[in-house]
Structure 1
C-alpha cells in the first residue's frame, strides 16, 4: 500500500506527518510525505520557527512525484491540518490526479478545526472551506465529535444524535466516517469512545480516558485507521486495531511524563496491537 500524505511537519515532537509517517511505515505502508509547513515544533507551545510552505511550492512537490509516473500506484491521499486556505486547492487537485491515474484510490481527510474544550483553533476561513469543498470530495473523514457538529450544523452528544450527524455527513460525500473523542452523557465515568460508520454498519469502542493532552494523537489515529480500513475494508477491525495502538501509545506517553508523544518507543503497539478493547456494533 502507498499513501500520499499532505500534512505539516515539525522537527521537534510529533504532529502532522511527523506523527503519521512512522506508524504507517511500521505497519508496512509506503508513505510519500508532502509537507505544508516545516516548523521547529507544534504551535501548542505558543512559539515556533520555520516557514509555512506556499501552496505553489506544495503543488510543485506533487508535480515532481507525478513526473516519476507513480500516481497510479497510490492507494490513498491523506490530508490533515491545513495551515492556509490555498492548500485545499492543492489537495483537491492532487486527489483528482491520483484518482484519474488509479480509479480505486481513495481520499481520507482529517478535517482538523478544533475541539470541544478549545473551540476552533484554525483560521476562520478553514472550517468553511472544509465543510463546503474538501469534505464533500472525501471518501473517508475522521472528525472529532466537535468537528462533526460543525460539518453538519448539529450538536451531537448522545449516541443517537451522533449517529444522525454521521448520516448527514455521509449524505454529503464521504462513505466512511470515524468519529473520535465521543463523549456521551450516559457513558461510563472516566471513559471516552470512538465510533466508526460505513455502509455495512456502525461500531463503537470505549477506553479509559487518560488525564492528558497529547498533540498529534489525532494524526496517528487518522493515519492508522485509514490504512487498516483501506487494507481490510472492515470498519470494526480497523477501529479495534487503531484504538488498541493509540491507547497504548498514549499510556506510554502519560507514564513517561513527557509532553511529546512517545512515538518511536511505542512502535510495537502499531505492528502488533493487543486488541484489548471490545468493539460493539450499534447499528
Structure 2
C-alpha cells in the first residue's frame, strides 16, 4: 500500500489543501497521514473565514508522534502545499528530511504555492524566497503553475521552448521531476489549457478544454494525483492520469455551478476518468 505524509492546510467547509488532496488519494487506495498547517472554517477565497494558523512546533511534534509509531520507514512520499509562514516551510523541510532518513527511496513532492497569473504573489513575505532557496533544491517533485515557474526562474514563459528551458533550469537546481500545472502558451489551442511534465531529459504535454468556472483547490488535487501516479509509473503516465481526473472533476463542478470542487460527488473520476487525455512527447 502506498503511504503518503501530507502536510497542508485544512478547511472544515469545502475542498482546498488537505481537504482537497487526502480524499482523492484515499479513493485511489493510498494510506494518507494528514498533518494540518491551519484549520479554517473555509478557504480564504470567500474573503472571510475563521480558525487558526498552527505553528511549526506543532507540525514537528506531530511528525515526531508518527515517527514514534515506527511509521516513517514505510512512508513513500511527503506532499506539501500552501505554507502559512517560512517557519512552517522549515518544519516541512525537516519532516521530508526525517522521512528520507528512514526511507531513502521516499520522495518529497512540493507544490510551491507563491501566486498566480492575474493575482501576483499572494503568500506572506519570506515564503517565495523559501521556496526558491530551500524547497526547490530539496524537493524531488515540484508542481508550480505558470506564474510560479516564471517567479522561481526569473524567466518570462510564452513559448514551449521557453517553458522547457525554465523547467530544465529548475531541474538543474534539484527536483528530478517537474509538473507545470497550468500553462497558456502562444501555441496553446483556443479554449484550452495545458500542462507540461519533465523528467530525465524528456518532456510531455497535455491540453484539456478550458471550463467556465473559478474555484479553489484544484491545484492541490492535481499535485496529489500526479504524485500518486508518479509513485507507480513514469511522469508521462502520471501527467495523463492527473489531467484526465482533474478535467472530469472540474467538468462535474462546472455542470453543477458549484463554488466548491465536487471532490466527493465526482470521486469516480479519480479511479476511472470519464474522458482520457494522453500526454504527448514534446
TM interval, shorter chain, is: over 0.9
**Preserved contact between residue 110 and residue 139 of structure 2 (Cα < 8 Å):** yes
Q: Alpha-carbon deviation of 1:200?
A: 5.1
> Displacement of 1:275 after TM fit?
5.1
Unaligned runs of 5+ in 1: none
Q: Which secondary structure does the structure 1 equivalent of 2:133 belong to?
A: helix
Q: What SS class does the counterpart of residue 36 from structure 1 fall into?
A: strand
Partner of 2:16: 15
Whether the 8 Å CA contact 1:241–1:275 is kept in 2: the answer is no
Residue 267 (structure 2) aligns with: 267
Q: What's the secondary structure of 1:131's corresponding residue?
A: helix
Query: Which residue of 1 is the match for residue 152 of structure 2?
Result: 151
Matched, 1:179 2:180: yes
Contact 1:71/1:101 (<8 A) preserved: yes
Q: Cα 1:275–1:238, aligned 2, differ >3 Å: closer, same or farther?
A: farther
**Counterpart secondary structure, 2:7:** strand
Q: Which sits farther off after the overlay, 20-29 or 272-281? A: 272-281
The alpha-carbon deviation at position 117 of structure 1 amounts to 1.1
The residue number in structure 1 matching 2:161 is 160
Q: Tell me the TM-score normalised to structure 1 length.
A: 0.98
- What is the alpha-carbon root mean square deviation over aligned residues? 0.9
Q: Is the 8 A contact 1:244 1:277 kept in 2?
A: yes
Counterpart position of 1:28: 29
Asked if 1:281 corresponds to 2:281, the answer is yes
Deviations 1:122-179 (A, max 9, x none): 0121101110011210000000011011111111111000000000000000010000
Count how many residue pairs are aligned between Structure 1 and Structure 2.
Answer: 281
Maintained 8 Å contact 1:3/1:75: yes
Aligned match of 2:136: 135
Instruction: Indicate the SS of the match to 2:52.
Output: coil
The 2-side partners of 1:19 and 1:51 are apart by 19
Are the aligned partners of 1:176 and 1:198 in contact in 2 as well (CA < 8 Å)? Answer: yes
SS at match of 1:51: strand
Normalised TM-score (structure 2)? 0.98
